[in-house]
Chain A
Amino acid sequence: MGKRKGIESSIALADAAAMCRVDGISAYPITPQTHIVEHLSEWVNDGKLDAEFVPVDSEHSAMSAACGLSSVGARTFTATSSQGLALMHEILFIASSMRFPMVMAVANRALSAPISIWNDHSDIMAERDIGWIQLFAENGQECFDLTPLCFRVSEDKRVVLPSLLNFDGFIVSHMIEPIEYWDQEQFDAFLPPFEPQIRLDVKNPTTMGVVGVPEIYYETKMVHHDALRKAKAVVKEGFAELEKTVGRKYEVVEKYKADDAEVALTILGSLAETAMTAVDNLRKKGHKVGLVRPRLWRPFPDEEFIEAVSNIPVLGVADRAYTFGAAHHPVASEVKSVLFNEEKRPKVLEFVLGIGGRDVKVEEFEEMFMKMIKVKDGAKPFGIEYVGVR
């Protein structure tokens, strides 16, 4: 078993990537992701990690170089945030469509304008549809544990898709926490060496990135979508193996005191930990409240989610990003569409909160729960509530 260390989450995540024995890292700085690539450059420059570190000229080039690294069969890692993720946008679709099983860590941060370095989910929600596996880590330990998981799932021959690990900028990325490290042997057993099915190889020439005429384009998308949908089973297998390896249990949909809940909240990312305190406080007062958090965001675990919420009368959904001009914000539209055809489904109430680093206090979560309880008790459902906005 590994050692427990008091360490910054970003450093732990970088250590995990290095212990995955990555072959190539393409990197470009952006707050609050920088500590990850800085630390990886130390691994390489100190001669402790045998990998190529490519300090590229932009995030667009970071994602492009990552495609290049992956195309020759290198285990590839990169990290970014906010504007950097947005700048990659074009290449993100290509990386998944070309089936490059790289891993990217994303320290979630608000998108400009106005420029904000603080945390919300507007960067990742704008990239919902890029065709990558997308997971949320809520704390430093999860950042560490889920990095090898991402590689394992991405490189699985049934999947062969890139993975993206979200964690909240600053709130998680810069937090110093006690984190239990795995031993190198545990990494090596959990994550076997990467053996790509095809790679650019002069002895066996292949062509990658061809023109997709109308006779084939549609099928390539179908295959991609199928592979991503089926990746859920591989993620679950990976979670089970992870539990065997280090004893921590992960689920595609995490429940907290939700089994007997009359009112539950769905929220992604680290604010769930604040919401848990609110749940505990209200439980003490006798209110049956809980949390249901999809840890796996893409592919969306609809079956598990439906199962988790179908007996709950009222479900709140907290969005940390806008879908401008839409009737519902991203997580709420996902949840509502998943539940729409279900006969047994909760009433869904919508919240927007924690935008651009705006703090959300335990009491605010308690108030949200109390409002939801009122609806459960017969009050009229309300429209979208923008928590804490002036």
Chain B
Amino acid sequence: MEYLNVYASKLIPERELFASGHKACQGCAPALALRYLLKAAGPNTIVCNATGCMEIISSAYPDISWGVPWIHVAFENAAAVASGVEAGIKALQRKGKISKGKVNIIAIGGDGATFDIGMGPLSGLLERGHDVLYLCYDNEAYMNTGIQRSSGTPKYASTTTSPAGDVIPGQQTVKKDLAQIAIAHQVSYVATASTSYPVDFIEKVKKALATDGAKLIHIFAPCPTGWRAKPKDIIKLGRLAVQTGLFPIYEYCNGRYKMTFDLPFLKSIKYYLKIQGRYRHLTEEMIKELDEDLKQRYRWLETLARETKEAK
């Protein structure tokens, strides 16, 4: 974030390794995440993609968006495939069968692929410490199959399997904390990010890739289709999620937390909720509950950041 005040276009490589013309919806933030990711990672990169929106929109043969070697095997196993790719590259380089040199290996999965069906393989990847960056783009539901709830769907959000009914008003469970799960594996680098802060995200990707071993970035990536929001509001939503404290962005590096922003105050979440159809049914009471929960979590995280900083 040191460079955020400098003119961004000078810092971000012009070269596009994720080609436009893919099939994502208008205003798709996950697609932005991929574009920024490859700008940060550059051409010496192999991507292992889980099934999901980003895989589907980018790889309908022969219209491929990927300018780097790319593999998709299935929905739940991007972390396991990446483990194999990393191990294979390591063995072949050591045995002199392929040329030496750093290759960035990146696994990509949506919230469903990561929080739910691929949690075991992800845990395995992190625990074994493969030199892989796992990127979870979080659009808070199974979008590719038609907006079903995942364990990354926030409380009260209406999805096609957690509909806002007359009795049960949307998702009833609290969003899983992916970054904390990754941190519990004692890996050296974990970060959260938002597609609305591209320079920050790019810096985090670079830092992650410069760190040995397994690392994870969890990026908040609004989906206009699934959230029933206007494409023009997508960047705003990604910012508000951060500024309200709903999705705090931070880094965890070798035992220390660093909040990406020092927020002097947290914005109200009312507007954030209001511009999304998935929250249309919320009552004042529910909003109050969400607000209290997020403030509590935010304070907890701030304390962690303060305490681990002091422990320097």
Contact = CB atoms under 8 A, between A and B. Distances in A.
Interface of A: 23-24, 26, 50-52, 54-58, 60-62, 64-74, 76, 90-91, 94, 98, 193, 200-203, 205-213, 216
Given A61-B80, A65-B87, A210-B60, A72 B74 contact: no
Contact of B84 (A24, A58, A60, A90): A24
Contacts of A69: 84-85, 87-88
Contacts, number: 167
B45 interface: yes
A74 B64 contact: no
Given A202-B69, A208-B71, A67 B84 contact: yes
A23, A67, A68, A213 — most chain B CB neighbours (10 Å): A68
B243 interface: no
Contact of A23 (B44, B61, B64, B88): B88
B124 A212 contact: no
A60 B69 contact: no
B84 A209 contact: no
Contacts of A51: 91
B66 to A, nearest CB: 6
Contacts of A90: 74
B121 interface: yes
Contact of A52 (B68, B88, B121): B88
Given A26-B84, A71-B85, A57 B98 contact: no
Interface of B: 43-46, 48, 55-56, 59-61, 64, 66-74, 76-77, 79-92, 94-95, 97-99, 103, 120-121, 123-124, 127-128
Contacts of B67: 205
Contacts of A98: 73
A99 to B, nearest CB: 13
Nearest to B69: A200
A91, A193, A202 — most chain B CB neighbours (10 Å): A202
A73 B79 CA distance: 18
A312 to B, nearest CB: 45
Contact of A200 (B71, B76, B79): B71
Given A68-B71, A208-B70, A208-B71, A61 B59 contact: no
B168 to A, nearest CB: 32
A91 B225 CA distance: 30
Given A64-B73, A200-B71, A54 B83 contact: yes
A74 B121 contact: no
Given A24-B88, A64-B74, A205-B67, A211 B61 contact: yes
Contacts of A65: 80-81, 83-84, 87
